[in-house]
């Protein structure tokens, strides 16, 4: 079996956060909004993340990260139940319209 070579330099906390968001299917603009960063900062961190992983694309980064055991298994998300016992989606803390896609 082929064992992935280890990282030369460990990921920063921000790079690990971005990797997790990439694995969850977030786009660069969505990562920027989620982490309250400028899109240029997201691009900067992703560039360094890809360099540390030795890859040049999101697909390659996720594959390499999985091979290195850097991706946590997906955790089930439980939404809180409302007064009627029905599951209620969380309300945003702003008055902007909800985005059409995640």
Q: Is 80 exceeded by the pLDDT of residue 39?
A: yes
Q: Which structure tokens are listed for 49?
A: 């993340």
Residue 93 banded pLDDT, cuts 50, 70, 90? low
Q: Contact at 8 Å (CB) between 32 and 39?
A: yes
The string of DSSP codes covering 56-95 is: SSHHHHHHHHHHTT-SPPPPPP-PPB-TTS-B-PPPPSS-
pTM of the predicted model, to two decimals?
0.66
């Amino acid at each position: 079996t082929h064992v992935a070579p280890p990282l030369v330099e460990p990921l920063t906390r921000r790079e690990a956060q971005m990797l997790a968001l990439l694995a969850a299917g977030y786009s660069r603009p969505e990562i920027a909004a989620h982490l309250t960063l400028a899109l240029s900062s997201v691009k900067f961190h992703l560039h360094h993340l890809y360099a540390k992983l030795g890859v040049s694309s999101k697909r390659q980064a996720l594959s390499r990260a999985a091979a290195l055991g850097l991706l946590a298994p997906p955790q089930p998300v439980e939404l809180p139940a409302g007064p009627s016992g029905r599951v209620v989606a969380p309300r945003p803390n702003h008055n902007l319209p909800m985005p059409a896609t995640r």
